[in-house]
Amino acid sequence: MRASPGYRGRFIWYKFPFTFGNFSLWDTRADMMGFAQSAEHVDAVRWLVSPGVARAAFVRLLRADPAGHSIGEWRAEDDGDAWRNAAFPFSSRISNEEAS
């Protein structure tokens, strides 16, 4: 992975006994897909999906745009820190207006 074009870094976590995660950063989506299609990655995925190795897995692709930020389909523009205090319908957070 480290020798792949466009590789920027990764974060790995493990929680005993069965939880493992890997988060990787790439210059472009094409660079990431190039690694995903490499023989080494294909072999690792084949091993992972073989019976008795993993019980679940997921892949999430996120992108960083020049302005604002993206989290899945939710998009924040140049609004400073307003995204940190978003009023989600499922949130238990009380706004300053509601508290007074």
Q: How many domains does the chain have?
A: 1
pTM above 0.85, yes or no: no
CA of residue 96 relative to chain centroid, distance = 31
Query: Quick check: is 18 in a domain?
Result: yes
14-62 pLDDT, tens digit per residue, is 888 878 888 889 998 899 999 999 999 999 989 988 888 888 887 877 7
Provide DSSP, 25-84. Answer: EES-HHHHHHHHTSHHHHHHHHHHTSTTT-S----------SSSEEETTEEE-S-TTGGG
Query: Quick check: is 1 in a domain?
Result: no
Query: Quick check: is 60 in a domain?
Result: yes
71-85 pLDDT, tens digit per residue, is 555 555 555 555 555
What is the span of the domain harbouring residue 91? 7-99
Residues 83, 76 contacting (CB under 8 angstroms): yes
